[in-house]
Structure 1
Amino acid sequence: MSRGSHALSRCTRVFFSFPEVTDPARHRDYNAWHQLDHRPENLALPGVLHGDRWVRSPECRDASAIDDDPVLSPAQYVAMYWFAEPAGASIEEWSELGQTTLEQGRRPELEWTRRRVNGFFRPLGGRAAPGVAISPEALPHRPHRGVVLEVLRADEPSGAAAEAGFGVLHREHLPAVLAVPGVLGTWSFASRDVTLRGDGGDGGDGDVRRDTTRGAYTVVLHWCEADPVEVAATLPPPVAVPGLRTVLRTPLRTVVAGEWSWFDADRAGTAVSPGA
């Protein structure tokens, strides 16, 4: 099979969600629902090419190099779905599934989760690390221990300063990351239509805004075959140049079925809840 025939190489839309579980006692319920019901149903759709999710455990939070975005910061999970072309039809089918399962009484998490940030991004491309034989398009399918997530914010995404910053990201930063032991490869994604939800102070949504500015946010994922917490500590400095700055860099662990104990201390009241 030629690399050009990989399904992910033709993908033009990827969905990212950054959920926060607002009730510390419901993390196990959330993971059981997502991993045993929600995600399998999504992956069974013909228009969903791939999906994955990761946890920002307390250990991952402590290992964050940058945590400067008040909307993103409280999220404890990250989910990702890739859509087949034509993307519009695939996304409509996927949205219909979400509504249908709600109507079947299979969306219990709605009462105690908040999607801090969610929306659609365009893949900008992927790269495999030296010595990794598989193609970048196969990278998301490869078993891994987690990822290091970087989120960057462009002040004026169509301006000259942002363009220069994107050049630093793609020509300097990403090649340097690929040289780090334990990194399998990397993909980057530029925002196209993103919804952001602030905190209303009463457990509900505060400011809810939609940002359709192309390239306002860039999400970068570095897949790790080594412990992502250890990998994160050895990465080159985050991008911080005029017009483009990193607002979040954190390791995330792969979610394994049934191994959902990261926040049990919070439920018992013996630790501070992440995002509090």
Structure 2
Amino acid sequence: MQLPGTPSDAVDGVLAAGRGDISTLFVSMATRHPDGLDADYLRWHTLDHRPEQHRLSALRASLRLVSTPACRAARLPGDERLDPVDHVMTYFFFDAGGLTPFNELSVALGDAGRKLALLPPVERGAYGVVTKAAAPRVKLGADVLPWWPVRGVFLLLEREPSSTTTLLDVSGVIGVWSTSTLSVDARMASARLGQHLTYCFLDDDPVETAERLAPVLSRHQEDTGSAPLLAAPFYPVVPHEWDRYVP
């Protein structure tokens, strides 16, 4: 359905009302549950742990993603170190200073007996927002993409950043945020400095959109000679349908 009106990013009055203040992402990548209890874990995290994080004044949004077997089949070749990634949790912060109370809250919840054993981690990282862009057809501005009800997300982790313009031209991609790793306490993050993580927000099935993104990313790889570390589609968790999307 074509929504009415002029895209927000082309309206000075809309932009003057506020540009959003997210500057930092905390991204936790993990593998599947060792006992196959992914749905139970998603239930706990979505109903208990994740909502509690929003009592933090620095936290602006959050997004949980899951890779299914079909998602895995649609991945592009990447770094084998990241092959096990099946779960991605992203917290969107005002600034990196929000990571300290974020960690303190986690400890407090654990002390209250409110935490399950975490999914086996693959990589955690803090990323600074570099660029934001939205497709004019969806009307909303790039600043508010984390609140749009996506059908999926395509994640692209690279040593060198990709052109967001070419990604935004792909059908199914409504917007793109690009980020780069920040230097933070090593106890909080293990992602290597110099990595670039791109979020493609999707309004179409992520597996089908991944098929359309593949030739664009392949051409980029040929032009730059640099293969992605991870290039993969993910589904968002569907509340109260915990086993709908699992690894």
The TM tier, using the shorter chain, reads 0.7 to 0.9
1:150 is matched with which residue: 156, 178, 185? 156
Maintained 8 Å contact 2:79/2:228: no
Check if 1:61 corresponds to 2:67.
no
Larger deviation, residues 235-244 vs 135-144: 235-244
Maintained 8 Å contact 2:154/2:233: yes
Q: 1:181 Cα deviation (Å)?
A: 1.6
Query: For structure 1, which runs of at least 5 residues remain unmatched after alignment?
Result: 155-165, 197-208, 265-273
- The 3 A distance-change label for structure 1 pair 5 and 145 is same
Q: Once superposed, what is the RMSD of the aligned Cα atoms?
A: 2.6
TM alignment of 1:178-197, pairs within 5 A: 178-193=168-183
- Rounded Cα–Cα distance in structure 2 between residues aligned with 1:92 and 1:99: 11
- Rounded Cα–Cα distance in structure 2 between residues aligned with 1:36 and 1:7: 30
Corresponding position of 1:84:
94
Q: 1:259 Cα deviation (Å)?
A: 2.0
- Rounded Cα–Cα distance in structure 1 between residues aligned with 2:155 and 2:55: 26
- The 3 A distance-change label for structure 1 pair 6 and 81 is farther
- The 3 A distance-change label for structure 1 pair 234 and 211 is closer
Corresponding position of 1:109:
117
2:217 is matched with which residue: 200, 212, 237? 237
Maintained 8 Å contact 1:19/1:116: yes
Corresponding position of 1:48:
59
TM-score (structure 1 length as normaliser) = 0.75
Q: 1:25 Cα deviation (Å)?
A: 2.6
Q: 1:5 Cα deviation (Å)?
A: 5.4
Task: Write the letter of the residue equivalent to 2:230.
Answer: L
Matched positions, count: 231
- Rounded Cα–Cα distance in structure 2 between residues aligned with 1:18 and 1:142: 22
TM alignment of 1:1-276, pairs within 5 A: 2-3=14-15, 6=18, 8=20, 10-66=21-77, 68-85=78-95, 87-88=96-97, 90-110=98-118, 113-154=119-160, 166=161, 169-170=162-163, 174-193=164-183, 210=190, 213=193, 216-235=194-213, 236-238=216-218, 239-240=220-221, 242=224, 244-261=226-243
- Rounded Cα–Cα distance in structure 1 between residues aligned with 2:226 and 2:18: 31
- Rounded Cα–Cα distance in structure 2 between residues aligned with 1:41 and 1:226: 30
Q: 1:263 Cα deviation (Å)?
A: 7.4
1:19-76 residue CA offsets vs partner (Å, 9 max, x unmatched) = 123423321221011111111011232210111111011110111122x222321121
- Rounded Cα–Cα distance in structure 2 between residues aligned with 1:71 and 1:65: 14
- Rounded Cα–Cα distance in structure 1 between residues aligned with 2:231 and 2:244: 19
- The 3 A distance-change label for structure 1 pair 244 and 11 is farther
- Rounded Cα–Cα distance in structure 2 between residues aligned with 1:61 and 1:6: 38
Greater strand content? 1
1:3-32 residue CA offsets vs partner (Å, 9 max, x unmatched) = 365464x33321011012342332122101
- The 3 A distance-change label for structure 1 pair 6 and 53 is farther
Maintained 8 Å contact 1:27/1:263: no
Identity of aligned residues (%): 29
